[in-house]
């Protein structure tokens, strides 16, 4: 989660040919949400999810990306499940295009909408994208492999000291979320948040990143 919604690194890693191979693999998965293969990109705030999802979207010929920062709020950083289900998952499951209301982190209210076509692959990126309540709709969970401390430091450097209080509050909420509902053990794909290396994950492997 980043209040600015900007990529986690000014110089993101290069994902190389493996990104194209991953895109082909995702296209070949069975649909999981109506006609859509819904793919979660999860990991700690600052781990590079937004950057990776953008690159993967391009490799998938412009696959739509749902940013969970747009559905979360200051009051409910992880209270977006019902909004995601009602505004995105259920329309896609019915074979229809979706649209969700976008939260403005400056105005502190929802303002505007973002369309989500019922494309062959749709990406959902954000902390908790692979959470328990969403997994039945998912074709794949991708986990950004960067520990919480390193990810937070990256985010703090990006956002500057004016958002230090935000990061402190967010770190507590994120830690509590992953302690209760970890995503990493359910990720069939892992992406190194520093090098960009893409490797298979072992589903069911215990989480080692608090």
pLDDT, tens digit (0-9, with 9 covering 90-100), for 45-62:
999 999 999 999 999 999
Per-residue model confidence (pLDDT) at position 8: 39
> Domain range holding 48?
18-64+121-200
Burial of 174: CB neighbours in 10 Å, binned 0-12, 13-18, 19+ = buried
pLDDT digits (tens, 9 = 90+) for 96-139: 999 999 999 999 999 999 999 999 999 999 999 999 999 999 99
Phi/psi-derived region of residue 77, left when phi > 0, alpha when psi is between -120 and 50, beta in every other case: alpha
Residue 140 lies in a domain: yes
Q: Mean pLDDT across the stretch 51-74?
A: 96
- pTM for the whole thing? 0.89
Identify the CATH number of the domain in which residue 141 sits.
3.40.50.300
Per-residue model confidence (pLDDT) at position 44: 95
Residue 152 lies in a domain: yes
Residue 22 lies in a domain: yes
């Amino acid at each position: 989660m980043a209040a600015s919604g900007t990529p986690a690194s000014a110089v993101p890693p290069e994902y190389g040919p493996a990104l194209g191979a991953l895109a082909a693999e995702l296209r070949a998965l069975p649909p999981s949400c109506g006609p859509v293969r819904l793919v979660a990109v999860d990991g700690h705030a600052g781990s590079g999810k937004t950057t990776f999802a953008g690159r993967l979207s391009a490799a998938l010929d412009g696959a739509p990306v749902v940013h969970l920062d747009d559905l979360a709020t200051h009051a409910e950083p992880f209270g977006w499940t019902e909004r995601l289900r009602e505004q995105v998952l259920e329309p896609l499951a019915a074979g229809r295009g979706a649209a969700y209301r976008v939260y403005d982190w400056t105005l502190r209210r929802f303002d505007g909408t973002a369309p989500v076509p019922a494309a062959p692959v749709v990406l959902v990126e954000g902390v908790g994208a692979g959470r328990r309540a969403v997994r039945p709709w998912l074709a794949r969970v991708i986990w950004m492999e960067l520990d919480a401390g390193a990810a937070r430091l990256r985010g703090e450097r990006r956002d500057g000291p004016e958002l230090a209080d935000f990061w402190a509050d967010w770190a507590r909420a994120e830690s509590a979320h992953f302690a209760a509902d970890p995503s990493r053990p359910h990720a069939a794909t892992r992406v190194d948040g520093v090098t960009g290396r893409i490797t298979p994950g072992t589903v069911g492997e215990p989480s080692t990143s608090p």
